[in-house]
């Protein structure tokens, strides 16, 4: 009888970790989470983990973001439906890197039936991208004969918006009016159109939202090695004069357009920028992961 009671007590004390879905960034694939998979297994053994093997590499990861969100949402629904009894009853986490961080936020807002417990965006361009360093790094064929200051002429056309993720992420601070009128993705998921109430309700079902990024003051126009400006990872961005602003100066905060400020007021939001953490360190450096990411995978 004593041994039976001991086993029952041990079972009661066993930590059941939430399942984790991984989403890679632009040009990446599910193998990007090789080390994270190992480190989670070491520290949270038994965690169900599901790398999303979709839209991998170039040119698949360049496909438009609304299309990726739609297909990945369907994939998650299928995985949850096929899960072991009770596996997803208490929700699941989204652990997402770079472009994947933006995709995952959009997914949370668009999925009326999601059961996401925590979203973790690692260096995700939440307010988009802009700048020479990002432009030179990505080498997108459609833009190869353009300068950074001219990309908006192409990026904000219907053709580019319906075919290319970078066009969806391009946020030219010197052409805000055109951006708001013709970018079909970012203004929408930022709650700046007529669908805002639904997106906000879905976002507010989260138990926690974590947005982390490396901080590089004065370096390469705010470039972290993958996104520019780095401030976009925590909802800051360039202003029209070339300076930067933080989240509190944007409509997503002032108007609480999709629920970001409400999450903060209820203790469910983490916005963290950490000096010197390069873009790929979030998926390659164990100390970075253990310090800034793992604590939220509970």
DSSP-assigned letters across all residues of 50-100: EE---S-HHHHTTS-HHHHHHHHHHHHHHHHHTSPTTTTTT-EEEEEETHH
Active site residue 249: no
Catalytic residue among 61, 98, 121, 257: 98
Distance CA 53, CA 110 (A): 20
Pairing of strands 237-238, 244-245: antiparallel
Distance CA 32, CA 25 (A): 9
Please give the chain's pLDDT, 298 residues, in tens: 444 443 333 333 456 899 999 999 999 999 999 999 999 999 999 999 999 999 999 999 999 999 999 999 999 999 999 999 999 999 999 999 999 999 999 999 999 999 999 999 999 999 999 998 887 766 777 787 888 899 999 999 999 999 999 999 999 999 999 999 999 999 999 999 999 999 999 999 999 999 999 999 875 578 999 999 999 999 999 999 989 999 999 999 999 999 999 999 999 999 999 999 999 999 999 999 999 999 999 9
Q: What range defines the domain where residue 23 resides?
A: 16-296
Catalytic residue among 18, 24, 93, 279: 279
pLDDT of res. 35: 99
| Residue 7 maps to a domain | no
**Cis omega before residue 196 (within 30°)?**
no
| DSSP structure class, residue 118 | E
Q: What share of the chain is helix, strand, coil (3-state, %, to 5)?
A: 45, 15, 40
The DSSP bridge partners found for residue 119 are 94, 209
Residue 277's nearest CA partner among 264, 265, 293 is 293
| Residue 150 maps to a domain | yes
Distance CA 75, CA 94 (A): 13
pLDDT of res. 293: 99
**What total number of domains does the chain contain?**
1
| Residue 5 maps to a domain | no
Q: What are the Cα distances from residue 92, in Å, to 55, 156, 198, 255?
A: 21, 35, 21, 29
Q: 3-class DSSP state for residue 235? A: coil
| Residue 1 maps to a domain | no
Residue 149: which CATH number? 3.40.50.1820
pLDDT of res. 137: 67
| Residue 8 maps to a domain | no
| Residue 28 maps to a domain | yes
User: Using an 8 Å Cβ cutoff, are 238 and 129 in contact?
Assistant: no
| Residue 9 maps to a domain | no
Distance CA 170, CA 125 (A): 10
pLDDT of res. 7: 37
Residue 182's nearest CA partner among 218, 145, 153, 204 is 153
Active site residue 121: no
DSSP-assigned letters across all residues of 132-196: HHHHHHH--GGGTTS-GGGHHHHHTSHHHHTT-HHHHHB--TT-HHHHHHH-SSHHHHTT-STTH
| Residue 11 maps to a domain | no
Main-chain dihedrals φ then ψ at residue 176, nearest 5 degrees = -60, -40
User: Using an 8 Å Cβ cutoff, are 51 and 75 in contact?
Assistant: no
Distance CA 15, CA 71 (A): 32
Longest CA–CA span in the chain (Å) reads 77
Catalytic residue among 24, 93, 175, 224: 224
Active site residue 136: no
pLDDT of res. 15: 64
């Amino acid at each position: 009888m004593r041994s039976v009671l001991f086993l029952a007590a041990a079972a009661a004390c066993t930590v059941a970790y939430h399942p984790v879905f991984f989403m890679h960034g632009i040009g990446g694939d599910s193998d990007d989470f090789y080390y994270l998979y190992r480190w989670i297994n070491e520290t949270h053994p038994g965690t169900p983990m599901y790398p999303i093997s979709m839209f991998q590499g170039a040119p698949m990861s360049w496909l438009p973001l609304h299309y990726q969100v739609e297909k990945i949402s369907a994939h998650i629904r299928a995985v949850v439906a096929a899960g072991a009894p009770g596996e997803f009853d208490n929700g699941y986490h989204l652990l997402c890197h770079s472009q994947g961080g933006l995709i995952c936020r959009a997914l949370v807002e668009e999925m009326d039936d999601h059961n996401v417990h925590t979203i973790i965006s690692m260096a995700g361009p939440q307010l988009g991208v802009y700048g020479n360093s990002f432009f030179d790094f990505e080498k997108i064929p459609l833009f190869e004969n353009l300068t950074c200051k001219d990309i908006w002429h192409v990026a904000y056309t219907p053709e580019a918006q319906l075919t290319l993720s970078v066009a969806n992420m391009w946020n030219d601070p010197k052409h805000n009016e055109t951006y708001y009128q013709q970018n079909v993705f970012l203004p929408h998921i930022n709650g700046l159109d007529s669908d805002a109430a639904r997106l906000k309700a879905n976002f507010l079902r989260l138990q926690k939202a974590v947005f982390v990024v490396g901080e590089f003051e004065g370096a390469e126009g705010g470039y972290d090695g993958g996104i520019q400006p780095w401030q976009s990872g925590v909802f800051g961005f360039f202003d029209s004069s070339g300076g930067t602003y933080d989240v509190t100066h944007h409509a997503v905060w002032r108007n609480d357009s999709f629920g970001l400020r409400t999450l903060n007021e209820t203790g469910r939001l983490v916005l963290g920028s950490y000096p010197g953490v390069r873009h790929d360190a979030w998926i390659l450096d164990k100390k970075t992961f253990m310090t800034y990411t793992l604590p939220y995978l509970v």
